[in-house]
């Protein structure tokens, strides 16, 4: 489902790892100025620095077979709010990416920092297995990836909480049996938090799940209905005309017409029609990175190009009717050549090879880096693709039966992405991925509970009305289960809108919900000490 500094009031963006055919992670919600220095020091304001400390935890490779082996799992912490013996711990569930990209969660610029300050606790960020410096194997194949699954990822959290020796807690007074541990996450990591509660209850006292993509879905085409609703009306009208035209041209199989269309986007060398149709979805997918405080979003930037209002344009703005098909194609094509291609491709390499399609092409399995880069730090989202193909999380954002918006080609389908699983993960020593073994999204939902997690005590759910990942959350309009407690739907909210304090400063309703979340979490934490009959560490 990955994506993302509040620290410098910069634009928030999702770390979208996109395959050549447009498959997208839910996204690690990380402020884009959060890259740490070698000393893990990040400036929070002009007068104060927050120092993050890092260590490694010896984690089991396979929790179903502990003697199988171990790997080192990185974690960071900030104990500036920690009140001493028996104080709470706020653990950030791992995002689907390098843990260094999550370090902003250790500050008061995020809701987790607000939790920690309110309850007098420390914050810990744990890196996900198989990402960053926390991979048991250097190469990611169908054989070595067998231990990257929801079962092990949730077990990692429990095993870590029960066994880690924290530098700031020499007496082990803040173990889960002695102090409340709060598990928090956003997007996929929010789902990990919820799944941990559902599959492995009893270690964590309370949970915060922001935009948690808990339901594995074979089809998430309704996500584009949300993106379309966020578009200006002229842009929506023109986009629908463009996509209808694209489908007409591609399905009629006229070579010259198809070549001319692809050349308009700088993708004339792209032979595969389905891959070309998929790449065109990258524009609407930019809505995932929107936050209240960003103001001018990447989706609206794209729409300005579509409406011929690119930088330096002398065209007059139009009304709701838009600019029409031909001008819209000119504008979107220009957006691809000036924005999308430079963002996604190695421009020096493209110039050398005179090939503007190679970075999007999935045609050549043997030479394409999409398939051939097996490294842990690959840029093609290989680990996420494995989870999608193996668990299977699926949840492909494509065209499909639930898409009524008409802004994505009907040639871009979930089936086309499923078929790529075999190209990504050929069988190695009889090891393959879940879909190849007839595993389904329903199987994963049966394990986790999906939209209906069952045991959901002291779990707060926060979702956005206009979040493209809303269909996979407990606020999905498709969900028919019994009502859950502590569910907050942020009006006009986007992906994980509650996470960033700046959103609450820009939008009063978000601020009200954030304060309510902090208050409720404080109450839940206090209940632990009352129930245990232990004295609560003093707070400011």
Average pLDDT, the chain: 89
Residue 11 has pLDDT above 60, yes or no: no
Asked if pLDDT for residue 1 goes beyond 50, the answer is no
Residue 105 vs residues 34, 123, 294, 377, 405: alpha-carbon distances, Å? 9, 8, 18, 22, 35
Q: In what order do the strands lie in the sheet with 181-186?
A: 53-60, 70-78, 122-126, 89-92, 181-186, 206-210, 459-464, 487-490
What tokens does 83 get? 């009140």
The model's pLDDT over 96-120, given as tens digits with 9 standing for 90+, comes to 999 999 999 999 999 999 999 999 9
* Residue 517 pLDDT level (bands cut at 50, 70, 90): very high
**Confidence class of residue 435 from pLDDT cuts 50, 70 and 90?**
very high
User: What integer pLDDT is reported at residue 371 of this predicted model?
Assistant: 86
Residue 380 pLDDT > 80:
yes
> Distance between CA 382 and CA 19 in Å, rounded?
9
Tell me how far apart the alpha carbons of residues 80 and 113 are, in angstroms, rounded to a whole number: 10
Rounded CA-CA distance 473/470 in Å is 5
What share of the chain has pLDDT > 70, as a percent?
A: 87
What amino acid positions are annotated as catalytic residues? Answer: 187, 467
* Token duo for residue 326: 């031909």
Integer CA distances (angstroms), 481 to 267, 302, 474, in order:
45, 37, 9
Note the pTM of the prediction, 2 decimals.
Answer: 0.90
Give the C-alpha separation, 336 to 408, whole Å. 15
- Residue-wise pLDDT tens digits, 229-243: 999 999 999 999 999
**Residue carrying the six token digits 């880069």:** 373
For the cut 80, the answer to whether the pLDDT of residue 367 exceeds it is no
pLDDT at position 389 over 90: yes
Average pLDDT over residues 53-73: 98
d(CA 221, CA 396): 8
Which two three-digit tokens encode residue 463? 């979702």
Q: Write down all domains in the chain, each with its CATH number in brackets.
A: 6-217+461-499 (3.40.50.1820), 223-437 (no CATH)
Q: For 125-164, how does the pLDDT look when each residue is reduced to its tens digit (9 = 90+)?
A: 999 999 999 999 999 999 999 999 999 999 999 999 999 9
Low-confidence winner among 158-172, 322-336, 394-408, 467-481 (lowest mean pLDDT): 394-408
For residue 58, is pLDDT > 50? yes
Q: Please answer whether residues 209 and 190 qualify as being in contact, where contact means their C-beta atoms are separated by less than 8 angstroms.
A: yes
Q: List, in sequence order, the alpha helices (H) in 221-345.
A: 223-230, 233-252, 255-264, 273-279, 298-306, 325-335, 341-344
Beta bridge partners of 122: 89
**pLDDT tens digits for range 158-208:** 999 999 999 999 999 999 999 999 999 999 999 999 999 999 999 999 999
Q: For residue 340, what pLDDT is reported?
A: 94
Instruction: Judge whether residue 5 has pLDDT over 50.
Output: no
Which pLDDT belongs to residue 358?
67
**Amino acid 348: pLDDT:** 56
Q: Do the Cβ atoms of 55 and 403 come closer than 8 Å?
A: no
Residue 379 confidence class, pLDDT cut points 50, 70, 90: confident
Q: pLDDT at residue 73 above 90?
A: yes
pLDDT at 6: 24
> Residue 38 pLDDT > 60, yes or no?
no
Q: Give me the mean pLDDT over the 365-392 stretch.
A: 89
Count how many Cα atoms sit within 13 Å of the Cα of residue 240 in the half-sphere of its side chain: 17
Average the pLDDT over each of 214-218, 342-346, 378-382 and give the range with the smallest value.
342-346
Reply yes or no on whether the pLDDT at 401 is more than 90: no
Q: What is the pLDDT of residue 20?
A: 27
**Is 15 a residue whose pLDDT tops 60?**
no
Whether the per-residue pLDDT at 18 is higher than 90: the answer is no
> What pLDDT does residue 356 have?
61
Q: Burial of 310 by CB count in 10 Å (0-12 exposed, 13-18 middle, 19+ buried)?
A: middle
- When pLDDT is averaged across residues 477-505 and rounded to a whole number, the result is 96
Lowest mean pLDDT among 179-193, 365-379, 462-476: 365-379
Helices (H) and strands (E) in the chain, counts: 17, 12
Confidence of residue 43 (pLDDT cuts 50, 70, 90): very low
């Amino acid at each position: 489902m990955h994506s993302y500094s509040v620290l410098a009031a910069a634009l928030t963006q999702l770390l979208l790892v996109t395959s050549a055919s447009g498959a997208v992670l839910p996204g690690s919600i990380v402020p884009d100025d959060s890259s740490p220095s070698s000393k893990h020091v990040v400036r929070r304001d002009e007068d104060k620095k927050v120092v993050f400390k890092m260590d490694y935890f010896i984690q089991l490779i396979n929790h179903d077979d502990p003697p199988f082996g171990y790997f080192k799992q990185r974690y960071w912490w900030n104990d500036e709010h920690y009140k001493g013996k028996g104080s709470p711990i706020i653990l950030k569930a791992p995002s689907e990416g390098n843990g260094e990209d999550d370090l902003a969660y250790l500050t008061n610029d995020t809701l987790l920092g607000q939790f920690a300050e309110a309850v007098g606790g420390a914050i810990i960020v744990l890196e996900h297995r198989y990402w960053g410096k926390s991979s048991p194997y250097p190469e990611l194949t169908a054989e070595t990836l067998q231990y990257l699954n929801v079962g092990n990822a949730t077990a990692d959290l429990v095993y870590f909480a029960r066994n880690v020796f924290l530098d700031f807690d020499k007496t082990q007074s803040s173990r889960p049996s002695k102090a409340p541990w709060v598990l928090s996450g956003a997007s996929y990591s929010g789902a990990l938090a919820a799944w941990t509660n559902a599959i492995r209850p009893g270690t964590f006292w309370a949970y915060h799940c922001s935009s948690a993509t808990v339901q594995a879905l074979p089809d998430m085409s309704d996500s584009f209905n949300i993106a379309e609703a966020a578009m200006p009306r002229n842009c929506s009208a023109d986009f629908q005309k463009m996509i209808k035209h694209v489908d007409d041209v591609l399905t009629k199989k006229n070579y010259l017409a198809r070549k001319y269309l692809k050349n308009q986007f700088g993708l004339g060398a792209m032979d595969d029609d389905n891959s070309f149709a998929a790449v065109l979805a990258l524009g609407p997918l930019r809505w995932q990175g929107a936050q209240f405080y960003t103001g001018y979003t990447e989706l609206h930037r794209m729409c300005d190009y579509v409406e011929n209002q690119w930088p330096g344009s002398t065209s007059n703005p139009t009304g709701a009717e838009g600019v029409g098909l031909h001008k819209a194609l000119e504008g979107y094509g220009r957006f691809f050549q000036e924005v999308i291609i430079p963002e996604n491709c190695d421009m020096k390499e493209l110039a050398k090879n005179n090939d503007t399609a190679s970075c999007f092409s999935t045609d050549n399995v043997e030479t394409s880096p999409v398939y051939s880069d097996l490294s842990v730090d690959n840029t093609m989202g290989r680990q996420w693709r494995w989870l999608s193909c193996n668990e299977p999380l699926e949840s492909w954002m494509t065209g499909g039966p639930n898409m009524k918006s008409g802004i994505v080609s009907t040639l871009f389908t979930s089936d086309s992405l499923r078929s790529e699983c075999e190209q990504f993960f050929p069988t190695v020593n009889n090891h393959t991925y879940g879909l190849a073994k007839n595993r389904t999204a329903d199987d994963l939902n049966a394990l986790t509970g999906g939209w209906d997690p069952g045991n959901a005590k002291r779990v707060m759910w926060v979702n956005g009305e206009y979040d493209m990942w809303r269909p996979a959350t407990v606020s999905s309009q498709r969900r028919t289960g019994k009502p859950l407690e502590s569910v907050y739907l942020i009006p006009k909210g986007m992906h994980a809108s509650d996470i960033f304090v700046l959103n609450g400063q820009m939008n009063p309703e978000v601020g009200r919900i954030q304060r309510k979340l902090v208050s409720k979490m404080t109450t839940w934490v206090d209940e632990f000490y009352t129930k245990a009959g232990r004295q609560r560490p003093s707070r400011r």
